[in-house]
Amino acid sequence: MWSIIQEKFRNHPAQEKVVRLLLERGFQINAEGRVVSGSIEIPHTQIAQEIGVDRRVVDATCETISKDAHLMAIFRNIRTMPLLRDVAPLLGLGVIIITPDDAARKGLLGSVATAVAEHGIIIRQAVSDDPYLTENPRLTIITEGKVSGELVNALTRIEGVKSVTVY
């Protein structure tokens, strides 16, 4: 998917910034060419301010997406997902952040999930940053209850794990 998007916006780096923001936040483009989250419209001026571009860049990006059936299929159907990371401690949940040495490594999520399960901990949420969209991608695991030091040690021994942060 990312290679298709990069090709469409290769000669427009400011518009590529807009596309990255839309994908990172799970914002959609509606039939009118406006940025939305569900039925809530997000003003193009606010998006422009967020990433330091002119509002017209956001307008042009949305227009480009609207005129391309493949891009519209992507941006009409993308969805925002709530990430529990910042509220997990307030809910009595554990948080494990895995920083990989190579985010494109196959099997890392499976190895981490296996280690967590072997320690008798239930995973409530697992979110992996897309290495094509995020400069320093991480794997965030939200668990039922607290994480033991024994589990942290097990996670650090998994091939491909650069660091483990728990809170």
- Please report the domains of the chain, with CATH numbers, ordered by start residue: 2-77 (no CATH), 88-166 (3.30.70.260)
> At 145, is the pLDDT very low, low, confident or very high (cuts 50, 70, 90)?
confident
Whether the full predicted model's pTM is greater than 0.85, yes or no, is: no
By three-state DSSP, how is residue 28 classified? strand
- Asked whether residue 159 carries a pLDDT value surpassing 80, the answer given is yes
Short-list 155, 162, 99, CA closest to 123: 155
CA distance linking residue 28 with residue 10, whole number of Å:
21
Place of tokens 């728990």: 166
The predicted structure's pLDDT at residue 39:
94
Segment 4-17 shows an average pLDDT of 91
The predicted structure's pLDDT at residue 166:
96
- Asked whether residue 23 carries a pLDDT value surpassing 80, the answer given is yes
Short-list 127, 12, 120, 32, CA closest to 76: 32
